[in-house]
Amino acid sequence: MQRHIDQELADLKTQLLRMGALVEEQIERAIKALIERDANLASQVIERDKQVNRFDVEIDETCIRLLALQAPAAGDLRFVTTAMKISTELERMSDLAENICERVIELNEEPQLKPYMDLPRMAAWTMTMVREALDAFVRQDAALARKVCADDDFVDDLTHQLFRELVSFMLENPSTITRAIRLTFIGKYIERIADHATNIGELVIYMVEGKIVRHMTPPASQPG
């Protein structure tokens, strides 16, 4: 016989995945706005952040109600508390997509500083991390979650590489400083999105295995 809470947990998962899909789209559209220098698209992303915020509030309310009325235990309790924390991570990712778009609008007021190669590469890797983190949550796949955590190192390396390149622009030509700083900010925003994906990976490991891996050596990916 199916427990009443099972349907509520399934609904919560659906709600979270809808939020995740919207956040993935926010990130993708923010990077598209950057590459195509599309201020209108950037403005749309900024406006749609309100939808993500509503999801965050609704999921929090659902989780609090489940905790108060259903008193979930063991795995169900870990699922509910993990879902609540994941919604917070996703909301922060959307905030960072909004930050990217604010810098895009500012950058469009001047000529493009350089061809955008590293930033789209960083963003593509980061979006894969976000997608795989959510897949790990759905499938309760701790091995995939560990892969997401390990992949964060690549984004960190690209961020450092981009920073060094932009510093060289600023040193050679002071007129590029404002644009280079804004691009540095965008690189940092993308890196922080990857950090939030890593946080989701760590939360999934906790949900599946009951192990808290935050503030520890990053878990290595399992051989496939």
Residue 216 lies in a domain: no
What pLDDT, on a 0 to 100 scale, did the predictor assign at position 217?
Answer: 56
Using the structure block, give the residue that is written with the tokens 């508390």: 81
Q: Phi, psi at residue 173, to the nearest 5°?
A: -150, 100
Residue 69 lies in a domain: yes
Residue 13 lies in a domain: yes
Residue 202 lies in a domain: yes
Does the CA dihedral 184-190-193-199 come out positive or negative?
negative
Q: What's the CATH code of the domain at 123?
A: 1.20.58.220
Residue 45 lies in a domain: yes
The residues, ordered by sequence, that sit 6+ positions from 52 with a Cβ below 8 Å of its Cβ are: 19, 22, 23, 26, 90, 91, 94
Residue 215 lies in a domain: no
Q: pLDDT digit of tens for each residue in the chain (224 aa)?
A: 346 788 899 999 999 999 999 999 999 999 999 999 999 999 999 999 999 999 999 999 999 999 998 887 888 899 999 999 999 999 999 999 999 999 999 999 999 988 888 899 999 999 999 999 999 999 999 999 999 999 999 999 999 999 999 999 899 999 999 999 999 999 999 999 999 999 999 999 999 998 777 766 544 444 43
Q: Which pTM value belongs to this model?
A: 0.90
Residue 224 lies in a domain: no
What pLDDT, on a 0 to 100 scale, did the predictor assign at position 1?
Answer: 39
Does the CA dihedral 97-99-102-104 come out positive or negative?
negative
| DSSP3 helix / strand / coil % (the chain, rounded to 5) | 85, 0, 15
Range of the domain at 58: 4-209
What pLDDT, on a 0 to 100 scale, did the predictor assign at position 216?
Answer: 61
Residue 185 lies in a domain: yes
Cβ atoms within 10 A of the Cβ of 68, count? 8
What pLDDT, on a 0 to 100 scale, did the predictor assign at position 172?
Answer: 92
The total of structural domains in the chain comes to 1
